[in-house]
Amino acid sequence: MEGCSSATVLLPCILLFSVLLNCKVAAAGDIIGSNQILRDNGSTIVSSGAHFELGFVTVGSSANRYVGIWYKKIAEKTIVWIANREAPLNTSSNLLRLNSNGNLVILNASDDVVWSSNSTASVNNPVVQLLDSGNLVIRDESEKDNYLWQSFDNLGDTQLPGAKLGWNFETGLERYLTSWKSLDDPSPGQYTDHIDRNGFPQLMTRKGSAIASRAGPWNGIRFSGTPNLNPNKIYTYGIVSNDKELYYHYEAVNSSVYTRRVLNPFGQKQRWVWVENTQIWQVYHSGPIDDCDHYRVCGAYGSCNIDKSPVCTCFNGFQPKDKKGWDAADWSSGCARKENLSCVNGEGFVKHSGLKLPDTQRSWFDKNMSLGECEKVCLSNCSCTAYANTDVRGSGSGCLLWFNELIDIREEKENGQVLYIRMAASELAKKGRSKVWFVWIPILMTVTMMCVCLWVIRNKKRNKKKKQTEGITNPYFENGGSIEMGAEDLELPLFDFTTLANATNGFSKYSMLGEGGFGPVYKGMLDDGKEIAVKRLSKDSRQGLKEFKNEVSCIARLQHRNLVKLLGCSVQEGERILVYEYMPNKSLDSFIFDKMKGYTLDWPTRYNMINGIARGLLYLHQDSRLRIIHRDLKASNVLLDLEMNPKISDFGTARICGETETGSNTTRVVGTYGYMSPEYATDGIFSVKSDVYSFGVLVLETVNGKRNKNFAHLDHNLNLLGHAWRTYIDGNVLDLVDEVIEDLSPEHQYEVFRAIQIGLLCVQQYPADRPTMATVVLMLTSELPLPQPKQPGFFIERNVHEGDSSSCSSNYCSVTAIAPR
């Protein structure tokens, strides 16, 4: 009896020991065998070189559990791949193992399979291995290079060195990136990044089924739309194209330097590099970089240049399809030929250099043709609209033909390509006649310039002393009168031109912060180490001379914590230069319209910015020695200091009114569409209420994170003001809040509601209905009941190009001179 009792106790122990022998727990190593499991208890496997680690993990603030791969040696857990991104686990009683079919599976606490590798191949002794490349593979234990399944064939949002982005024609497999839904949710988001092979292959990003941005076709060196993608010492890259495969790949030059290519939740493709010295991830390359990178911003036969205003122009021989829309900065309708093609003798091609090639969907190509042969083939086909080389290396090779409208073109300062556009015979004849003038005009200009130079040399010494003592007279004339500025008018220090040239490295392009309507702005450093911003008036800017004097006379007399400080100016060497305090965080638009930077702006920061801008405007309108109407208040004219305090800048278009005046009218309307009040844009009537309207637009943009002009929504074609008004009358005001602003407390929700209502009060149709800035500041800083707003001015619904929600530009057109209606 006693022996039986001992056997009864011993038998379960033997069985348990047997089970443990046959079902080992995976420990530190890089392999999970067929008889091993990986539990959700902190157990992991590590690649042989300790570069990558695999295990159960959480993402961001979410409590969900996932099987993921991350960098082993980086303290900040950076996840590069997730298995069950569509099937998160909500407990920690989970495990990962190979099943009897050789598939890698994830089991939840109920032993249900929530994810499987779904490999159809089978082997006798399968193992799972985490490679030093970050690739997770299933293979036969005895065959190291024969993968039955691999994570590199099932990409998430990250492409690691060695991973292929593209097609395997033999199996039909397409490898592409899919963004996360949000930074805390790795489930598939809206964006995909893939090689499109419908025509000449090109790299593009889609939002759902619509094209969001396009890097363009591979030209032998880089993708046509990525001029900044250059050979470097961090990674090599290229395209492999043959009968079996078509893919983009890259390799790290030094395996100890970590780099990854990520498609983020907002549709941006980012190249990250780990900087060991600073222990941070650094963005090495990113795209889209500006609005010209958004798909078909300028429509058909339109070319985008972010440095021009407006950013979209038609090619020579083309004109806007919708002139009214084009003048209102809606370029989505594109351009049309002035003279239609008729496929008759005399048609030919016009060469355009420095371009991102048009969309190559439904194009035709032959990599073995010469450019001359390419021209002949295109000319012989009446449907052919343009041609170019497929490969730009050396003298160029290959032939690429287009048969439809040319879409999604931008001008590239560097590394742009040559495109030959087909033109009607009559247009080519006009161009030929214009060439005659191109011969004579330089000759006439040379003679004229020689005469001018002689006159300048003769009078230089005589005028120099006069300029220093009596003031400086501009050698340009506007409306028949000269513009004079004496030293007594400046009321601020004068800088030596040489000092400013040295501070900006000779006004180097590498010191340039940006370029406005009247000239470039440079970052500089004085001899004492003080950082400055130097605004240099373009010499060929006729408008800018008046604005220069206007800006000096306005801002030199103003002192307020929410206005940018003017430190001095220079009027030597025929230059007109303004020197400002340097704002390290640049302008407000670079934050609120950038999804990644937008995450750094929580609601209290945004609300502080709104209050600061309001106080700055109140000072201009009421509290300063002068009554000043800014006339061009917009996000790009609000600069941010180191503590993110807003400072209103750019007073070139401002107007000084008398103490009892609150407005005036003009035949020369200046400002920016999207911010201009209705009465100013249409009738040239401006007042302090015009600035109030601009402030209201800025408030709504700061809350929403999108521009008013060309605002896009899936449910309607209203601009931002219209959308804000709709959410307000529907009682869904919080739907307007930027998606990157998370976890609003009840107090912050109340502030958001008031800010939106104040914004709507400021953008009402009629000036008399809008509050003054004194009232606005009171409303922002108190809990007084707010009046109900009326419908906004410029409450419009636009026609958006069918099927392409990305066709609208989020650029603004800076207006310099239009006649009021």
Residue 41 one-letter amino acid: N
CA–CA separation, 179 and 75 (whole Å): 23
State how far the alpha carbon of 332 is from the alpha carbons of 8, 144, 181, 300, 699, in Å.
Answer: 83, 54, 28, 8, 26
CA 261-265-270 angle, to 5 degrees, is: 25
Beta bridge partners of 478: 481
Q: Specify burial of residue 367 (Cβ count, 10 A radius: 0-12, 13-18, 19+).
A: middle
Dihedral angle over CA of 436, 437, 440, 442, nearest 10: -120
- Beta strands 417-423 and 312-314 are unpaired
152 contacts 164 by C-beta, under 8 angstroms: yes
State how far the alpha carbon of 456 is from the alpha carbons of 345, 452, 463, 471, in Å.
Answer: 52, 6, 9, 18
The radius of gyration computed from the CA coordinates of the chain, to the nearest angstrom, equals 32
Task: Examine the residue annotation and report whether 359 is marked as an active-site residue of this protein.
Answer: no
> Among residues 196, 293, 632, 691, which one is catalytic?
632
- The phi-psi region of residue 398 (left if phi > 0; otherwise alpha if psi is between -120 and 50; otherwise beta) is left
- The phi-psi region of residue 543 (left if phi > 0; otherwise alpha if psi is between -120 and 50; otherwise beta) is alpha
Laid out side by side, the sheet with 165-168 consists of 173-175, 165-168, 245-252, 235-241
Helices and strands: H and E segment counts in the chain: 15, 50
Give the residue from 29, 57, 37 showing the smallest Cα distance to 107: 37
State how far the alpha carbon of 162 is from the alpha carbons of 268, 381, 503, 708, 765, in Å.
Answer: 21, 42, 45, 42, 58
Give the residue from 225, 287, 283, 243 showing the smallest Cα distance to 259: 283
Q: At what angle do helices 688-704 and 746-762 cross, to 10 degrees?
A: 140
Q: At what angle do helices 773-780 and 746-762 cross, to 10 degrees?
A: 170
DSSP for 197-230 reads -SBS-EEEEEETTEEEEEEEEB-SSSBTT-TT--
35 contacts 52 by C-beta, under 8 angstroms: no
Query: Tokens 């408030």 belong to which residue?
Result: 699
State how far the alpha carbon of 602 is from the alpha carbons of 511, 562, 742, 745, in Å.
Answer: 30, 20, 8, 12
State how far the alpha carbon of 2 is from the alpha carbons of 5, 9, 486, in Å.
Answer: 5, 11, 117
CA–CA separation, 200 and 391 (whole Å): 12
Residues with catalytic roles: 632
